[in-house]
Amino acid sequence: MITSSRNYLVLGSTQLFLAVAGTVGNLLVILGIICSPRLLRNIHYYLVLHLAICDFFTLVLTSSLIYYLLTGSSMINSPVLCKLWVPTLTVFYNAASFFMVFISIVRYQAVLKPLEPSVSQCKVKVLAMLVYVFAAICMLPYILVLQFNSRSGCVEEWPVETLNICYTLFLAAVQYLFLSFC
């Protein structure tokens, strides 16, 4: 038991260090791009800004896992946190993945057809908004089945196990299959 708790402490400390370093790094990227209007007009930097925002919030929201690893108790202690914390983390995680795919597509098009104009700024802004909306819509079923219990914390309570399997397959398709096909 002692080695298990020691392993959790080492894992939690390592994740804490990486989360702090990543949060500071992403915050510097966000500030650097926002403070330079010239960079904001560039499509690539606009997408990198949104990727940094998603990564920043993903790292901040993983603090509940780090807290659990360091203390052994859950940081999520209310029904509101239960319904918001993990789903919000997953929304930003999914959105970051989508932004990486879109950055890759834009870079590929720039290499493939360097003399043609890239995507318009207006289309990129609409695309960024749609990424967040789609990532949030994907989490709605999960939010509906999350229940807070004072003993066990935040748990999923699916009315039928088949729905859980279908939703898991849907998320796997969205998070992994869609991204690998793009």
pLDDT tens-digit profile, the chain (182 residues): 455 667 777 887 888 899 999 999 999 999 999 999 898 888 899 999 999 999 999 999 998 888 888 888 888 888 888 889 989 999 999 999 899 988 988 888 888 888 877 788 899 999 999 999 999 999 999 999 988 887 777 888 899 999 999 999 998 888 777 666 65
Q: What is the pLDDT of residue 182?
A: 54
CA 105 to chain centre: 20
Enumerate the H helices of the chain as residue ranges: 2-34, 37-40, 43-61, 63-71, 79-112, 121-145, 161-172, 178-181
Q: What is the pLDDT of residue 167?
A: 93
| Superfamily covering domain 2-181 | Rhodopsin 7-helix transmembrane proteins (1.20.1070.10)
Stated pTM of the model: 0.86
Q: What is the pLDDT of residue 179?
A: 63
Q: Tokens 């029904």 map to which residue?
A: 79
Q: What is the pLDDT of residue 4?
A: 66
Sign of CA dihedral 52, 58, 63, 69: negative
Residue of 177, 174, 99, 100 lying closest to 137 (CA atoms): 174
